[in-house]
Amino acid sequence: MEYLIDAKERSLGRVASEAAKALRGKNEPSFAPNILADVWVKITNVSQLAISEKKLEQKTYTRYSGYPGGLYSRTLAELVERKGYGEAMRKAVYGMLPNNRLRTRMMKRLTIEE
């Protein structure tokens, strides 16, 4: 089954949670948490998301290299400028999926169009 989500004038989190729920297969009557659902999700108009200026400046993404002094952080505005709105959406959906073996396979079924 294929879900088409239009992100125009919608919040980043609302669209991401809808996509994560669909990728997980929670909308299907045959939902099982240990089975990959036969679902493909396509999100369109990601560049027209309703993101406030405050959110762009205050939302930060951090990562750690494992070395002393290796903590890096980047704001949402920097991420959007460097990689586009699609990457911000991808990170939001990725964070809403369960941390298990199925997460990478679920993410391969997500298509994002600017």
**pLDDT tens readout for residues 38-84:** 999 999 999 999 999 999 999 999 999 999 999 999 999 999 999 99
Domain limits for position 27: 2-51+84-112
Q: Which pTM value belongs to this model?
A: 0.92
Tokens of 83: 């990689």
Q: Which amino acid is at 22?
A: A
Mean of all residue pLDDT scores within the chain: 95
Judge whether 19 lies within some domain. yes
Judge whether 28 lies within some domain. yes
Q: Which amino acid is at 66?
A: G
CATH number where 28 lies:
3.90.1180.10
Distances in whole angstroms, Cα of residue 1 to Cα of each of 8, 23, 57, 62, 76: 22, 10, 37, 34, 32
Number of folded domains that form the chain: 1
